[in-house]
Amino acid sequence: MKSDLIFFQLFESESSTYTYLVGDGLSREAALIDPVIETLERDLQLIKEVGVKLKFTLETHIHADHITGASGIRQRTQAQIGVSRHSGVTCADILLEDGQELSLGAKKIKIFETPGHTNTCVSFLFEGLLFTGDALLIRGTGRTDFQQGSAETLYESIHQKLFQLPEETKIYPGHDYKGQTSSTIGLEKKFNPRLGQGKSKDEFKKIMAELKLAQPKKIHEAVPANMVCGARA
d(CA 114, CA 123): 6
Q: Say if CB 133 and CB 117 are below 8 A apart.
A: yes
Closest to 229 (Cα-Cα) out of 71, 66, 85: 71
Three-class secondary structure of residue 71 per DSSP: helix
Evaluate whether the domain defined by 5-215 bears CATH number 3.50.50.60.
Answer: no
Domain assignments of the chain as residue spans, ordered by start: 5-215
d(CA 205, CA 184): 23
How many CB atoms sit inside 10 A of residue 115's CB? 23
d(CA 197, CA 163): 12
Per-residue pLDDT of the chain (233 residues; tens, 9 = 90+): 777 999 999 999 999 999 999 999 999 999 999 999 999 999 999 999 999 999 999 999 999 999 999 999 999 999 999 999 999 999 999 999 999 999 999 999 999 999 999 999 999 999 999 999 999 999 999 999 999 999 999 999 999 999 999 999 999 999 999 999 999 999 999 999 999 999 999 999 999 999 989 999 999 999 999 999 999 74
